[in-house]
Amino acid sequence: MKALVYLGPGKRALADRPKPLVELPTDALVKVSKTTICGTDLHILKGDVPTVATGRILGHEGVGTIEQVGPAVSYFKPGDRVLISCITSCGKCANCRKGLYSHCAQGGWILGNTIDGTQAEFVRIPWADTSLYRLPETVDDEQFVMLSDIFPTGYECGVLNGKVSPGGTIAIVGAGPIGLATLLTAQFYAPAEIIMVDVDDHRLETAKQLGATQLVNSRQEDAAERVMELSGGRGVDAAIEAVGVPETFELCESIVAPGGVIANIGVHGRSVELHLEKLWSQNVTLTTRLVDTVSTPLLLKTVLSGRLQPLSLITHRFALAEIGTAYDTFGQAAETRALKVLISSGR
């Protein structure tokens, strides 16, 4: 089969790899129809994720059809259309029983990390009964690919951890796909103001179309001063970091209101400064989280009802044979205006 293989920092290739097999009774083999590229995949290619070995098939998002199941899989059968969760969970360990699926003793974020992932024609899914979600036959695959990762991530790590509430003021720092997914799901809770901060005017304009009430271009003005001005000098109730670099984290520290929340989403490859000399007396909460995907069933319902529109984030479409171009397009988003790229691998 064809698959996108990591060959070390800065190196990748579309290569022929053996079709995976059902190895354990709880496994399922899924024929992937749609997948996508995540910002985390770009971090891997930069060498920021040392757990990813050379030769690993990348990708942790996708939709497909079950081709084979192990004898212990009871909830799914061959022919079922499924959403592949970016988080694999056994459903039985102490962390899974607490809803911390991302820290499953036998799973967590392993797809495209410590086991081969979804940017391929086929993928083996461990613990299939608790790591896949059945999809209705009547809906299009495309709108559900975004529910593998970015929408649960934005919702759980940003909106829920940020305690977004009716009438509140929030700032989302970073208008990339994760930031925009956070913007869309934050509107479930009717905040009065949603301030989007980014360096790209096109992404900011997209954010406005999707519901942002105020836009701040941090390349053109002092973002901290502008956000404080927009919030009446008080700061924001939730400062949501959706980039993963020191500058944006420190911006969140500068704009959070007393009693507010700094909710980190970004994948940080470098250390950041925590300014406790300023924050120690401000009753501020700082949250971190790797997505647990506990919200996936809820988000599936919002898509099926039409309340959530994931297709609004898809800007480019490619075949699996074009995945190299897809990576270039996604990695050069400022020039290509890419948000999410969709990759079709069906034959």
141 and 98 share a domain?
yes
Structural domain including 100 reads 2-149+292-344
Query: Is it the case that residue 347 has pLDDT exceeding 70?
Result: no
Query: Is it the case that residue 143 has pLDDT exceeding 90?
Result: no
| H-state helical runs in 98-196 | 128-131, 142-145, 150-153, 177-186
- The partner residues of 132 in beta bridges, in order of sequence, read 84
What does the angle CA 289 – CA 41 – CA 61 come to, to the nearest 5 degrees? Answer: 75
Tens of pLDDT, residue by residue over 103-137, are 999 999 999 999 999 999 999 999 999 999 999 98
The pLDDT of residue 270 is: 87
The pLDDT of residue 346 is: 63
12 and 107 share a domain?
yes
Give the pLDDT band (50/70/90) at residue 82: very high
Boundary of a domain, candidates 259, 287, 315: 287
164 and 130 share a domain?
no
Instruction: Report the C-alpha gap between 178 and 168 in whole angstroms.
Output: 20
Q: How many domains does the chain have?
A: 2
Q: State mean pLDDT over 177-194.
A: 98
300 and 234 share a domain?
no
Average pLDDT, the chain: 96
Q: What is the dihedral of CA 215, 246, 95, 39, to 10 degrees?
A: 60
Boundary of a domain, candidates 287, 306, 327: 287
301 and 330 share a domain?
yes
The pLDDT of residue 17 is: 97
169 and 67 share a domain?
no
132 and 32 share a domain?
yes
Instruction: Report the C-alpha gap between 213 and 10 in whole angstroms.
Output: 38
What does the angle CA 235 – CA 236 – CA 241 come to, to the nearest 5 degrees? Answer: 120
> 40 or 27: which carries more pLDDT confidence?
27
133 and 247 share a domain?
no
29 and 112 share a domain?
yes
Tens of pLDDT, residue by residue over 275-323, are 999 999 999 999 999 999 999 999 999 999 999 999 999 999 999 999 9
**CATH code assigned at 225:** 3.40.50.720
The pLDDT of residue 231 is: 97
What are 320's two structure tokens? 């699996």
Q: State mean pLDDT over 127-156.
A: 94
78 and 179 share a domain?
no
- The partner residues of 84 in beta bridges, in order of sequence, read 62, 132
251 and 129 share a domain?
no
- Specify the pTM: 0.95
Q: State mean pLDDT over 8-18.
A: 96
CB burial string 110-139: b at 16+ within 10 A, e below: bbbbebbbbbbbbbbbbbbbbbbbebeeee
Instruction: Report the C-alpha gap between 42 and 331 in whole angstroms.
Output: 7
267 and 299 share a domain?
no
In 10 A of CB 78, how many CB atoms?
A: 12
Smallest Cα–Cα separation from 64: which of 111, 103, 16? 111
**CATH code assigned at 102:** 3.90.180.10
The three-class DSSP label of residue 141 is: coil
Half-sphere exposure of 288 toward its Cβ, with a 13 Å CA cutoff? 5
Whether 189 and 167 have beta carbons less than 8 Å apart is answered as no
Whether 200 and 175 have beta carbons less than 8 Å apart is answered as yes
Smallest Cα–Cα separation from 128: which of 25, 46, 47, 53? 25
- DSSP assignment string, 58-106: P---EEEEEEEE-TT--S--TT-EEEEPSSB--S-SHHHHTT-GGG-TT
The pLDDT of residue 137 is: 83
Q: State mean pLDDT over 130-155.
A: 93
Boundary of a domain, candidates 266, 287, 308: 287
3-state secondary structure 186-227: HHHHCCCEEEEEECCHHHHHHHHHCCCCEEEECCCCCHHHHH
Tens of pLDDT, residue by residue over 257-266, are 999 999 999 9
